């Protein structure tokens, strides 16, 4: 997980994007009600009355909504909360996100609605780009602004020293994940062990950083970087390791995610704009479809294969289709199949046939036609 220009935001990385973040601990603890307290609540007649009133309230009808909303997540909101808000605004039956972003980070949080949830892995496996600020002078146990200082230094790195260091953190490198991460150690989450005061030793592992650059030095205490990296990279660890080598120590103090797979900043929509659009749509002044990107946007790096309606009918039933004739496609591997320009299935092509793996049913609300043209 990774980065942000707003001073005071915190970091998550791609690896963190698949993790339950330490920043969510308070929320998780608040949701975990002790059994004794739960029993007291259940025996409280007022609680029973409130529960009965809640059950008597009419439930909003959920509907089929299919597509992607790339939320420009504000600082202070968890990824789980963001998904719940978007799901409520669209009254969608199903929703999920493609990569956790810490509450103290902002930027792109791709939220999949309906059948788009079937394409989430393709987004999570894509590259991520972050802008992040490192504060020099302190290393912290969480490697970000929320932790406690574990080492300090009065030394501050020069621009020349930072630039000379960057090549060492570009390409495939060995990285030790932060102690506060969701990696399991003998069946326990590392962040649980660290939070209980146990010494957590995590083994280094290879990660790939495609690009790392110094963007700005607002003052001697801060440096702003941009990084584009592959799955499993921890930006917090990147800041920690650079600080150690430079002798200045450091931690992430701001983070913004600007790219997740095929989704960039041009695809993002701030929460207030999304809410305003949904309210206008509810009053008949617009369409929720305008906020959606097509399901197949997540499949930009996968070849598309058009089939006839007859073949589409077989694939929709889960049956393989033979590739025949001189016009038969010569591609192999994973493809997404379309019929009359409409997404039908994810399939594997090989041995002269198309084998459906995931079939899409896009009945309901989908993206506006114009949203198929990317900005």
User: Which candidate, 223, 34, 48, 229, places its Cα nearest to that of 127?
Assistant: 229
Cβ(180)–Cβ(194) below 8 Å = yes
Residue 320 per-residue DSSP state: -
User: Which candidate, 9, 7, 12, 10, places its Cα nearest to that of 229?
Assistant: 12
Cβ(208)–Cβ(172) below 8 Å = yes
Separation of alpha carbons 191 and 282, rounded Å: 43
Cβ(213)–Cβ(229) below 8 Å = no
**Pairing label, strands 268-270, 67-73:** parallel
CB atoms within 10 A of CB 154: 8
Pick the catalytic residue from 4, 16, 19, 102. Answer: 102
Collect all residues with Cβ–Cβ distance below 8 Å to 231 and sequence separation of at least 6.
14, 15, 124, 125
Q: 3-state DSSP call for residue 363?
A: coil
Bridge partners (DSSP) of residue 359 are 345
Collect all residues with Cβ–Cβ distance below 8 Å to 76 and sequence separation of at least 6.
103, 104
Q: 3-state DSSP call for residue 375?
A: coil
Task: Establish whether 31 is a catalytic residue.
Answer: no
Rg from Cα positions in the chain: 24
Stated length of the chain = 375
What are φ and ψ of residue 176, in 5° steps? Answer: -90, 120
The residues assigned a catalytic role are 102
């Amino acid at each position: 997980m990774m980065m942000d220009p707003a001073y005071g935001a915190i970091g998550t990385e791609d690896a963190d994007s698949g993790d339950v973040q330490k920043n969510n601990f308070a929320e998780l603890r608040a949701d975990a009600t002790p059994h004794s307290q739960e029993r007291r609540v259940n025996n409280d007649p007022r609680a029973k009355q409130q529960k009965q009133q809640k059950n008597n309230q009419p439930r909003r009808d959920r509907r089929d909504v299919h597509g992607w909303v790339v939320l420009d997540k504000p600082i202070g909101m968890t990824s789980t909360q963001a998904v719940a808000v978007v799901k409520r605004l669209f009254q969608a039956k199903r929703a999920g996100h493609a990569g956790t972003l810490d509450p103290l980070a902002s930027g792109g949080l791709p939220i999949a609605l309906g059948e788009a949830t079937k394409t989430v892995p393709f987004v999570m496996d894509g590259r991520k780009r972050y802008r992040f600020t490192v504060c020099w002078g302190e290393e912290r146990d969480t490697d970000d602004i929320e932790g406690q200082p574990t080492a300090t230094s009065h030394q501050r790195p020069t621009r020349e020293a930072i630039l000379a260091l960057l090549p060492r953190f570009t390409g495939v490198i060995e990285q030790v994940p932060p102690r506060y991460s969701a990696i399991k150690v003998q069946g326990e989450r590392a962040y649980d062990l660290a939070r209980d005061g146990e010494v957590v030793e995590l083994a280094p592992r290879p990660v790939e950083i495609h690009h790392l650059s110094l963007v700005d030095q607002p003052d001697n205490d801060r440096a702003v970087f941009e990084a584009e990296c592959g799955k499993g990279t921890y930006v917090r660890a990147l800041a920690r390791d650079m600080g150690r080598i430079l002798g200045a120590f450091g931690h992430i103090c701001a983070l913004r995610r600007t790219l997740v797979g095929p989704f960039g900043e041009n695809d993002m929509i701030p929460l207030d704009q999304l809410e305003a659009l949904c309210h206008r749509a509810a009053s008949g002044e617009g369409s929720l479809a305008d906020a959606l990107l097509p399901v197949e946007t997540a499949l930009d790096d996968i070849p598309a294969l058009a089939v006839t309606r007859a073949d589409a009918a077989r694939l929709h039933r889960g049956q393989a289709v033979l590739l025949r004739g001189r016009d038969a496609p010569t591609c192999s591997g994973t493809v997404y199949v379309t019929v009359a320009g409409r997404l039908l299935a994810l399939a594997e092509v090989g041995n002269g046939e198309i084998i459906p793996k995931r079939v899409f049913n896009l009945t309901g609300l989908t993206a506006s036609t114009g949203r198929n043209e990317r900005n």
